[in-house]
Amino acid sequence: MQTPLHNLTQPRAVERLVAGQPTSDGAGVKLTRVLPHTLQQRLDPFLMLDAFGSDQANDYIAGFPDHPHRGFETITYMLEGRVRHRDSAGHEGLLQSGGVQWMTAGRGVIHSELPEQEEGRMEGFQLWLNLPARNKLCEPWYRDIPSSEIPQWEGEGMVVRVIAGEHRGVAGAVQREHTEPLYLDVHLPPGARFEQTLPDSHNAFVYVYRGAVRFDSGCSVPRQRMAILANTPGSDGVRLKAGEEGARLLLIAGRPLGEPIAQYGPFVMNTQAELMQAVRDFQSGRLA
Ligand code: MN
């Protein structure tokens, strides 16, 4: 069954374009911070989006040795490459091209994320999704989702990989009750039109990582730009069109939590006192 396209009556406009900032993290991994700290309130419940992509082993080989997390979820999506993860609870997994690791840090995880390749291309994304206050100290959980288990919608030359949420009747690999995240990887041939319904209250953005797209409002978004979509009351979704080279993009949206955000590095809680507790727990070996 195919849900017809072009059923939006008031697509969202682009509020602003943001260029990612080159930075490095972990033991010296080069990456682009697409969604920085300064946009956490605006894009609540999303806390961070990093993009990485390099053919040069020196840019990624050091990886992310043992480090903690508390209070949120990390979603790592590999376009290409292989990363081995191990955590303090004894879990281990290999994340490979096209696969996703969805990890709920909850009350605490200490883990490593290390490349399992010494040459070739490594490319992908890591998104941080906040947890509601009442779930910040939940039991840690994770799931490795190989590429073959990510649901896809295909048609008209398009491929829409549905990591979370739903697209045209295809339910994603992961659903979340409180933040209702939508996470789509959209591959569009030249000139293709794409639509997705979205509640106007959900915060949403598009990150174009190949080619370029144009919104109905006339706004063009080139490669390596994030477009923050306006939450215009009454708007019912997003509609865009690929440029003449086609496009690949992430569309990410979610229901804002509207709770205070307190961050200290890899800990994201609601108050300074909770952050200090996280640091004490980590230092005394009680985090995980
Ligand atoms: Mn990590």
CA distances from 181 to 38, 148, 205, 208, 254 (A): 20, 21, 12, 19, 4
Q: How far is the CA of 166 from the centre of ligand 1 (A)?
A: 26
What does the alpha-carbon distance between residue 151 and residue 177 come to, in Å, rounded to a whole number?
A: 19
Q: Tokens 């939940």 map to which residue?
A: 138
What is the topology classification, in CATH, of domain 150-257? Jelly Rolls (2.60.120)
Query: Around Cβ 63, how many Cβ atoms within 10 Å?
Result: 18
Amino acid at 135: N
Domain with CATH 2.60.120.10 in the chain: 17-149+267-288, 150-257
Q: How far is the CA of 67 from the centre of ligand 1 (A)?
A: 6
pLDDT of residue 47: 98
Cis status of the peptide bond prior to 260, with omega within 30 of 0 = no
What is the topology classification, in CATH, of domain 17-149+267-288? Jelly Rolls (2.60.120)
Q: How far is the CA of 100 from the centre of ligand 1 (A)?
A: 14
Q: How far is the CA of 21 from the centre of ligand 1 (A)?
A: 19
pLDDT of residue 1: 44
Residue 219, token pair as written in the block: 């706004």
- List the chain pLDDT tens, one digit each, 288 residues: 445 556 899 999 999 999 999 999 999 999 999 999 999 999 999 999 999 999 999 999 999 999 999 999 999 999 999 999 999 888 899 999 999 999 999 999 999 999 999 999 999 999 999 999 999 999 999 999 999 999 999 999 999 999 999 999 999 999 999 999 999 999 999 999 999 999 999 999 999 999 999 998 889 999 999 999 999 999 999 999 999 999 999 999 999 999 999 999 999 999 999 999 999 999 999 998
Q: How far is the CA of 204 from the centre of ligand 1 (A)?
A: 24
Q: How far is the CA of 24 from the centre of ligand 1 (A)?
A: 14
Residue 222, token pair as written in the block: 């080139």
Question: 94-133 as b/e, with b when 16 or more CB fall inside 10 Å?
Answer: ebeebbbbbbbbbbbbbbbbbbeeeeeebbbbbbbbbbbb
Q: How far is the CA of 87 from the centre of ligand 1 (A)?
A: 10
The per-residue DSSP string of 251-274 comes to EEEE-------EEETTEEESSHHH
pLDDT of residue 216: 86
Q: How far is the CA of 241 from the centre of ligand 1 (A)?
A: 34
Q: How far is the CA of 227 from the centre of ligand 1 (A)?
A: 26
Q: How far is the CA of 257 from the centre of ligand 1 (A)?
A: 22
Q: Tokens 């290409």 map to which residue?
A: 80
Q: How far is the CA of 110 from the centre of ligand 1 (A)?
A: 8
- 3-state SS, residue 97: coil
Amino acid at 175: Q
Q: How many degrees, rounded to 5, is the angle at CA 98 between CA 96 and CA 102?
A: 75
Q: Tokens 């009350």 map to which residue?
A: 107
Q: How far is the CA of 71 from the centre of ligand 1 (A)?
A: 12
Q: How far is the CA of 68 from the centre of ligand 1 (A)?
A: 7
Q: How many helices (H) and strands (E) does the chain have?
A: 1, 24
What does the alpha-carbon distance between residue 111 and residue 132 come to, in Å, rounded to a whole number?
A: 22
Q: How far is the CA of 219 from the centre of ligand 1 (A)?
A: 35
What does the alpha-carbon distance between residue 170 and residue 227 come to, in Å, rounded to a whole number?
A: 24
Q: How far is the CA of 128 from the centre of ligand 1 (A)?
A: 10
Q: How far is the CA of 46 from the centre of ligand 1 (A)?
A: 16
Q: How far is the CA of 64 from the centre of ligand 1 (A)?
A: 7
CA distances from 246 to 66, 109, 243 (A): 39, 40, 5
pLDDT of residue 135: 98
